[in-house]
Amino acid sequence: MYEFKTRHIAPKNISSSIDPSHILHTKRRANLAMALSASDIPRTHREAMLSSEASSWTQAVESELKAMKDLKKDSEGVVVKFKARLCAQGSQQKDGFGFTYAPTGRSTSLRAALIVGLSRGYDIHQMDAKNAFLNGNLQESIYLRPPPGLDVPKGYCLKLHKAIYGLKQAPRVWYAELKLFFDSIRFRPSPADPCLFISQIPGWECFVHVYVDDMIIISHDVSRFKKMISARFRMEDLGEAHHILGIKLTRTSKTKILLNQEIYTQSILNNYNMNYCRTTSTPMVANSRLVKCSEEDHQAINPPRHLIHRITTLATSRKAWDRSLACGSPSSPLSSGNKHHGIVLDGSGDLNNVSVYTDADFANCVDDRRSYSGYVTLLGGNLLSWQSKKQQTVSTSTTEAEYRALFEGVQEAVWLKYLFSSLSIPFNSKFEIFVDNQSAIALATNPIFQQQSKHIDIIYHWLREVHNTGLIHINYISTQKMKADMCTKALARQKHQQVISNLKIIRQ
């Protein structure tokens, strides 16, 4: 919680529950104190018991016997549940023992399923699995020291029969249990995403996107699935989907939905005392180039790693695709753009219309002269996926840089082919690939030998094989019309606004 401290409010009158380090000082005079966040989240059992919401935390602990505190908020950022979890200290597990991979749903798969659901007028609902990790069956014998607040005789420990939060293998065994359930009701995972489950029951089309314990259900009969899963697991029915993974979903019509991350963005501003910072019209200054700072400057600036992680997550995983370039390296100016922007998904478009735009900026990095690659994909005119990244090796020409970017875009197209097939998208035409470099197109479509390009790794010539299969059709497009331009370079305001408008990124 933050408050303005002014000459009218003496420090001794400020609530003792407020951490003094969280008091924001200002030179401006004010006549009142404002609380800028709803509630502090305690990090230990003792903090929870000493807080003003101790009774609520006690109820949470008693109902779930957990020890990690959190607040669950709705799409407007309002606290709807006090959450407390018993967590094992997974950091004390032995390296290489019990460390297993667990998949999580891809955001591209979710957007594709939403677009298909909107095109068919399906309902879009949400459910949450209660105590999800507690359903997993452990194969190992694991013992746990009793947590504070649990009455266990001294000298005793607990043997786990089920997985709990904090164990390295907990996500894996939960996914295994969940997959067994989906198999039993004739749902199969998509070959493109193991967390996108699709009904195989004739006459009932249903898509379920799973991200750990959050589920988005897309179907003309969502209640049928709700009954099935509620009979197996403890579930919370959240009704129509409004908020998932920091994304606010607003269905504006039968065929349209708006994805927005204003609440998630605002939480970042709150945490770093930037509530009243000025907005910018672009994520980066036009034509700027990133340069590694000196060790001395790095120590002076020292951006917290968790801040970089949160902004990178905002840029790459959800709606703020225009920030991906700005988050491309740790030395980037981490500008966040406008928190009120969102992506519109419209199901009224032609799902046979799939296009991929690829672009590169040759030798953009001043430090190592590597180029930046980027692509955007559109399904029925809707922004589906995007990427902005530095190339792994130095390209020796603009043609080579564009060719490598084209390779990455076509890789995405091949993956999308499997995704579309599992979602029953009647895609029977070619992927339209757009590039603004004629030489790169010639290199990809013709088995010609050029002295300047003979060094390009053979894996990139996989492009020619894909082209010969008829899956893709590579087209030339002028730089002025390139929709992936912002993935590789910082644009001026007018060009920036033009690109985001073409991609249905709007200001609410």
Domains in the chain: ranges and CATH = 4-89 (no CATH), 107-245 (no CATH), 260-507 (3.30.420.10)
The residue ranges of DSSP E strands in 130-264, in sequence order, are 143-144, 158-159, 187-190, 193-199, 206-211, 214-219, 235-240, 243-244, 247-251, 256-260
Q: Torsions phi, psi of 244, nearest 5? A: -150, 130
Q: Torsions phi, psi of 433, nearest 5? A: -100, 130
Query: Cα 376 from chain centroid?
Result: 16
Q: 132: which strand partners?
A: none
CA distances from 502 to 258, 320, 441, 485, 495 (A): 16, 15, 24, 12, 11
Contact in structure between 143 and 113 (CB atoms under 8 Å): no
Gap between the Cα atoms of 117 and 216, Å rounded? 11
DSSP-assigned states of every residue in 139-176: SS--EEPPPTT----TT--EE-SB--BT-TTHHHHHHH
Other C-beta atoms within 10 Å of 412: how many? 20
For residue 368, what are its two tokens?
């190592």
Extract the residue ranges of the chain whose pLDDT is less than 70: 1-40, 45, 61-85, 91-92, 94-99, 290, 293-305, 315-340, 448-455, 457, 507-508
Q: Which DSSP category does 490 fall into?
A: P
Which residues are CB-contacts of 454 (< 8 A; sequence separation ≥ 6)? none
For residue 241, what are its two tokens?
């989907």
Helix, strand, or coil here: 53? Answer: coil
Dihedral sign computed on CA atoms, order 341, 316, 421, 431? positive
Model confidence pLDDT, tens digit, residues 188-236? 999 999 999 999 999 999 999 999 999 999 999 999 999 999 999 999 9
Helix, strand, or coil here: 243? Answer: strand
pLDDT at 283: 76
- 294 sits in the region (left: phi over 0; alpha: psi -120 to 50; else beta) called beta
- β-pair type (235-240, 243-244): unpaired
pLDDT at 76: 59
pLDDT at 317: 52
pLDDT at 426: 80
Q: At what angle do helices 398-422 and 462-469 cross, to 10 degrees?
A: 50
Gap between the Cα atoms of 487 and 485, Å rounded? 5
pLDDT at 287: 72
Dihedral sign computed on CA atoms, order 310, 311, 314, 316? negative
- β-pair type (4-5, 24-25): parallel
Dihedral sign computed on CA atoms, order 315, 317, 321, 326? positive
Contact in structure between 386 and 483 (CB atoms under 8 Å): no
Q: 102: which strand partners?
A: none
- Among 261, 262, 257, 260, which residue's Cα sits nearest to residue 240? 257
pLDDT at 451: 60
Other C-beta atoms within 10 Å of 467: how many? 19
Nearest-5° angle of CA 134, CA 70, CA 55?
Answer: 100
Helix, strand, or coil here: 355? Answer: strand
- β-pair type (187-190, 193-199): antiparallel
Q: 357: which strand partners?
A: 376, 434
Please report, in angstroms and rounded to a whole number, the separation of the first and last CA atoms in the chain: 28
pLDDT at 332: 30
Contact in structure between 439 and 399 (CB atoms under 8 Å): yes
Q: Which DSSP category does 36 fall into?
A: -
Q: Which DSSP category does 319 fall into?
A: S
Please count the residues of the chain.
508
Contact in structure between 108 and 375 (CB atoms under 8 Å): no
Which residues are CB-contacts of 433 (< 8 A; sequence separation ≥ 6)? 355, 356, 358, 406, 409, 410, 413, 472, 473, 474, 475
